[in-house]
Amino acid sequence: MFTEWLRKVTRGITVPVANWLGRIGLSANALTIIGCLLTIAVGVVIATGRLRLGGWGLILAAGLDGMDGTLARQTGKPTKFGAFLDSVLDRVSESAVLLGLAWWYMGQPGRVEEFLAYIAIVGSLLVSYARARAEGIGVECKVGLLTRVERSVVIIAALILGLTPLALWILAIGTVLTALHRMVHVYTHTRDQPL
């Protein structure tokens, strides 16, 4: 899985930075909140049409987002609430970026990109909800092509390279297909099991 590979590749950076953040007294939950607020600010930047700047800002925000779990593990303080907070604020962050794009495209000719951004928001929420609900009934559900990390990479690259219409097509279709993939996955693991 791409997410695990990325964690391994960036471990040489994230662990020392997380250790430093722990030494200065920053908690993982505080870092989660800071990362979310930064991403919301990036969404506002995107809404004003500064897409490339938004892409660079998302690199920083994504770096912080990936750091909170490492910080919690390095300080020996991972908590159930921290995991919950991270998951909820991840949904807020991703929605803020896509809403920023939808807002920008509302002022542009045509409505296709705006519509695609809305589909991508719903699709990304369905992907996350499918996993959470599956795990709530005891089925691990990390399958699918466009998990959160992949979606982040697509949107960052598109913003920086000026390819947001293409990215919105990929995200709109890919998130819906990923949610459907997860539904099929859960069905094949639970179809004959009583509630």
Phi/psi for 147 (5° steps) reads: -75, 180
Q: What superfamily in CATH does domain 2-190 come from?
A: CDP-alcohol phosphotransferase transmembrane (TM) domain (1.20.120.1760)
Q: What angle do CA 13, 95, 27 make, to 5 degrees?
A: 40
Taking the model in full, what pTM does it have? Answer: 0.89
Q: How far apart are CA 168 and CA 142, in angstroms?
A: 22
Per-residue pLDDT for 83 more than 70? yes
pLDDT at position 169: 98
Of 28 and 172, the structure prediction assigns the larger pLDDT to 172
Identify which of 149, 158, 137, 136 has the alpha carbon closest to the alpha carbon of residue 178.
149
70 to each of 6, 20, 122, 128, how far by Cα in Å?
Answer: 13, 11, 29, 21
Q: Yes or no: say if 131 and 119 are a contact pair by the CB < 8 Å rule.
A: no
Q: How far apart are CA 129 and CA 121, in angstroms?
A: 12
Per-residue pLDDT for 3 more than 70? no
pLDDT digits (tens, 9 = 90+) for 105-132: 999 987 899 999 999 999 999 999 999 9
Q: Where are the domains of the chain?
A: 2-190
